[in-house]
Structures are given as structure tokens and as C-alpha cells.
Structure 1
């Protein structure tokens, strides 16, 4: 689209806003790059350089640095603040959403290269965020599951018990018992799960027996190649590696390859310590399960304690749901409300059962 000969005051105001936003985004990428190394640092630095080129475009249109500039938007200021304080994945997840909403598609003064840049930036940021999500997925899933399980299950327990009309001390005892029972169950289950997985992987892990026997082979190396093909290599690559192993072994060099046969074609998930996993699950569940019990711990009772527990758990569910939404690139509000509905739905069912089977005389 042909740009008008004389820009209006509204045009210049819009350019100034673009200038500020580009500077803010560039600063975010530079701060993130300063905290990384290797390839991720190079990519983030390149993004910052691209934002600087966009910044220069608006400076040229404005005829230099304006005397006054508008403030950056709330999202940009929040990203800039978070870039130096929070993890890369959290900031990139928010930056991904920001890059997805480029204003340049409808901006006649933006160049085609700038519009293309913004689309590329979105894909680059999404790729970096995806790396972080993959690294985070296991531990994040466990954290959300453990804390939410504690929140929902113990809220349902104390509301169900409280609705029967028993004393506050009995509700408190039930909540603490539910916390310990659930946390111990989670910890024990995680211990058994991780220990079993480690034992399973140990039983299927490849070894270097074939390497050790390579020097004694009196057959063609094609048979050794079958070992590598069975572990995932294609035929040509397996044959080449088998020939290297046999040749090196016959010359007295047992380890000419980059690693033992057992290192080929294995793509097992790295499994952590069973005790660490058990303790983490215990603490995560307990951190969620303690929240619904807090009103009774601090001496509240009856309806006041129930309402307070609902508020505390509601805030916690909304927070975890919003965080899931941010990190997954989805709408935080929708994820938060979904989490809240699930938690309160379970609590409502047990509370209703408590009313039905109430034992107010107890």
C-alpha cells in the first residue's frame, strides 16, 4: 500500500508507540540472552538485533529521537521486569503470545520485511519455548499434579467432614490425617514408580559385550552390523560402524568408536533418584493439602472456616491454572477457570454427601 506523502499527528504517535515497544522487546531478549549460553544465547541475541532494526525504521520515520515518548504497554513492561527475575520458559511463553499479535500486518508504514520478521520471530520464540517446555514437562506435570491433588482432595475431605456437623477439632484432625495419608501415598507411589522404571530400563539397557567380542570374530562384519540395526541404525550406517569396530579390535584398539555398542540407538528417558522423586511428591502434595486446613489450624470453625477454605483454595487453583495456561501458550483465564471448576466441583459433591449423611449430634 502506498504511504501518504504527509504523515499525520496520529501516525507519528503510533510510530512512537511502535518505537517504544520494539525497544522494550529488544531489551527483553538481551536480558534473556545474558542469562543463557551457547546456541540459545545466539538466537536470543539475533532476535534483539532484529528488534533494533525495527526500532531504527521508526526512528528514521520520526526524524530522530522524539522529545517525549509514550510508556510501553503493560505486557511489555511486565516482560521486561520478569526477564531478569524468572525462568526463561516462563518469559518466553508470554513473549510467544506477544509475538503472535503483531500490529504490522495492518500497518501501512511497516515494510514487508518487518511483517515477515514478526512472523518469523513468533516461530523462533515458539521453538525456544518448546525446548523449555520439553525440559520442564516432566517436573512441571508432577508439580501441578501433586499440588492440585492435595488442594482438591483435602478440600473435598474437610468440606465433606465439616458438612456432617462434627466438631472443628474433628475436622482439623481429619484434614491433617488426609494430608499425611495422601502425601505418604504419593511419595510411596512415586518411589515405587521410579524404582520400577529404573529397574526396567536397567534390564533393557544395551551393553558392550559385542564390542568386547569383536576381536575374536572370524566371520564377516555384517553379522555385527545386525546388532546395530536391531538397536535402530539404518543398514549402511550399521555396516560402516561394524567394520570400524572389527578393524579396530583386530588392531588391538578396543574403543575406536565414540562409545560402546550399548550407547547406540538408546533413547531412554533419564530417570531421577527414586528417593528424590518420593520426597518431592510428598512435599508437593502436602503443600497443596495444607491450604484447605489452614482455617481450622488458626481456630476458625463452621461456615466461616468453610468459606475461608474455599477462598484460599480458589486462589490457589486459579493461580496454578493460570500458570499452566501461560506456560502452555493457552489462554490463562480459561485454564484458571477450568482448574477452579474441577476443584470446586469435587468439593461440592463431597459437601453434598456430608449434608445428606450429616450427624449433627456427633
Structure 2
């Protein structure tokens, strides 16, 4: 069978694949340098898989491999971030990159390669999830605080400006909105997270069964009720209660045998974050978001020009925060940014119209 002669289009595509595979392998190796133990081994295994894909394209190219070409802009950016940071943001970007692999539709890629890329997405998703869980509590408060500050204070400034009051009144209203909102957000997050933690702590079983069990009345064994309330079957509850009271030790069913009651801290604690962390994040990020709409007024601008610039600044920031959320969630940064922009500008426009109506009625 004669050797296949690739077309110039195929050579160009394969060389791009080759460059991207090398870049992705480098990303995983750079990420592995910042990890230890199991995570290090997982990332090195991903790099090795990308190396197998690289060899596939080298074999197809043969003498046409030529000089290395540049990887895609996405992979160049990913490589830069991996070398500099190695954070959950890089893993989230890598997850998205793996999800967009073209191998499933490319006849020159093997089925195994396409399957590898699908599995890689899930592997990277698992690694990224660990970082997302560590960020989740304070990050949720930060994103919520920043967006609330942006939207609420822009709406306040727009509404006040629409009534026709002076720019000084608009500025002082914005400053008051910043302080009131930041303090309210911080206090609300503190109470919310602290209350949730107290509820979780109240649900953790105590060690009372270790000390009270031997002294209970055998005929009215309320220890069975403890284990039933914890979700055990009646058979398992009676078996466990009997062991606690020292009546017997039985190895007939290992699933029912006595086990130390060491209850680990619930994952919800990690996900929630600390009350002070959530409160401080919420306060600072609300304030950082709320100051943006009043910046033009702080620097002496007045009228429609100041309001228009405030809208532009807030719009850019909303796009940015939406893109960050999109990256971390593995979704489209552009779509998340546009969604944030539409929500924020919609709220500001509604308040501006109400301000115009109020100013007309009062005037």
C-alpha cells in the first residue's frame, strides 16, 4: 500500500496539533512543579498522555514536521499563567481547553486520543474542584459583594442624577451608599456564615455513647433510639447498642461491628469559609465595587458626562467579574460577562427612569 502523502492543509493542521500538544504537556508539568503527592502524579500522568498524542502527530508528519510552530494563543496564555501562578484559575482554563478538543471530529486523530481528551477534562475538573472548594466561601462573598456594590451604587447615582439634583448631592449620595452598603454586606455575611456554622456544629454527634452506654438500663435501652435517629437500621442500631453496653462482641457481620465514633469535620465547613473571612471579603469588595460609579464625580466631572463615564467603568468591571466567574466555573467567560453586564445595566436603567419620573413629578 503506497504511503499517504499529506496535503498542505493537513500538514498545517497537524503541525498546529503538534505544537498545542507540546504546550499542553508543558502546562501540566509546570502545574505539577507546584503540587506534591497525588496531585503531582496526576498532572505528570496527564503530561505523559499529551506526549503520546504528540508522537502520533510526529509520526503522521514524518519529514514534514519541520520547525516547531507557535501553539494557539489560548495555550500560550495558559502556559504563561501555569509558569507564573499555577492556581485554580489555570486549572479552570485547562479544563475548558480540554473540553474544546477537536479530536472527536478529526478523522486523523485516533478514537483513543479523542477519549483521552474527554477523560482529561474530567481529571482536570476534579483537580480544579479541590481549589474551587477552598475558594468557595470567601469567593462567593467577594463576587456577590463586588457586583452588588457596582450595581446598587450605579443605580443610586443614576437615579439621583436623573432627578436633576446637583453633582455634589449625587457624589455624597454615592459615598453614603458605599458606606451603608459595605457595612450592611459585611455584617450580613458575618451573621449568615456564623449562623450556618453553628447549625452544622449543632448537628455533629457527641461522644456521650462511649461513657453513658454501660450504665443504661438494659430493659429500656434508649441507646437504640440514638442510633435509629442517626439513620441506622433497627438491626444495626440494636447490635451497636448491645456492644456499647458491653453485652457482647460479635464478628458475624463486620458492617455491624463496633467502630470508633470519630466524626470528621463536615465538608460544608470548608465550603462555607470563615465568618470573618466572608465578612471582610464582602465589605472590601462591596466598597471596591461601589466606589467605581462615583469616581467621575470624585474627580470633578458633572452632569451626563460623569454619569456616562460611570456607566462605562461599571460596565467594564461587570464584564471582568463575570468573566472570572465564567473561568472558574468552566463556562464561557464572554457569556458570563455579558450576562453580568445586562443585569447591571438593566437595573441602572430602571432606576434612572424612576429618577426621571420622580424628578418630573416633584418639579
TM-score (ref. length: structure 2): 0.85
Q: Does 1:303 align with 2:304?
A: yes
Which residue of structure 1 aligns with residue 94 of structure 2? 95
Which residue of structure 2 aligns with residue 348 of structure 1? 349
Q: 1:65: how far off?
A: 9.2
Cα contact 1:187–1:279 (8 A) shared by 2: yes
Q: CA distance change for structure 1 residues 12 and 278 in 2, over 3 Å: closer, same or farther? A: closer
Cα contact 2:207–2:261 (8 A) shared by 1: no
Tell me the secondary structure at the aligned position of residue 144 of structure 1.
helix
The C-alpha deviation readout for 1:175-196, integer Å capped at 9, x for no partner, is 1000001111111212222333
Which residue of structure 2 aligns with residue 78 of structure 1? 77
Structure 2's unaligned 5+ residue stretches are 250-257
Q: 1:257: how far off?
A: 5.2
CA RMSD of aligned residues (A): 3.3
CA distance in 2, matches of 1:7, 1:353: 66
CA distance in 1, matches of 2:63, 2:239: 62
Structure 1's unaligned 5+ residue stretches are 251-255
Which residue of structure 1 aligns with residue 275 of structure 2? 274
For these two proteins, the number of residue pairs brought into alignment is 354
Tell me the secondary structure at the aligned position of residue 77 of structure 2.
helix
Q: 1:219: how far off?
A: 3.6
Q: CA distance change for structure 1 residues 266 and 334 in 2, over 3 Å: closer, same or farther? A: closer
Tell me the secondary structure at the aligned position of residue 93 of structure 2.
helix
Cα contact 1:29–1:44 (8 A) shared by 2: yes
Which residue of structure 2 aligns with residue 39 of structure 1? 38
The C-alpha deviation readout for 1:311-354, integer Å capped at 9, x for no partner, is 11010011111122222222222211111111111111111122
Q: Does 1:28 align with 2:2?
A: no
Which residue of structure 1 aligns with residue 118 of structure 2? 119
Cα contact 1:214–1:249 (8 A) shared by 2: no
Which residue of structure 2 aligns with residue 336 of structure 1? 337
Q: CA distance change for structure 1 residues 141 and 214 in 2, over 3 Å: closer, same or farther? A: same
Which residue of structure 2 aligns with residue 154 of structure 1? 153
Q: CA distance change for structure 1 residues 123 and 279 in 2, over 3 Å: closer, same or farther? A: closer
Q: Does 1:315 align with 2:316?
A: yes
Q: 1:138: how far off?
A: 3.0
Tell me the secondary structure at the aligned position of residue 68 of structure 1.
coil
Tell me the secondary structure at the aligned position of residue 152 of structure 2.
helix
Cα contact 1:156–1:347 (8 A) shared by 2: yes
Tell me the secondary structure at the aligned position of residue 320 of structure 2.
helix
Cα contact 1:147–1:289 (8 A) shared by 2: yes
> How do 1:178-257 and structure 2 match up within 5 A?
178-217=177-216, 219=218, 224=223, 226-233=225-232
CA distance in 2, matches of 1:84, 1:333: 25
Q: CA distance change for structure 1 residues 225 and 80 in 2, over 3 Å: closer, same or farther? A: farther
Cα contact 1:79–1:91 (8 A) shared by 2: yes
Pick which of 309-318 and 124-133 moved more: 124-133
Cα contact 2:138–2:281 (8 A) shared by 1: no
CA distance in 2, matches of 1:100, 1:272: 30
CA distance in 2, matches of 1:334, 1:141: 19
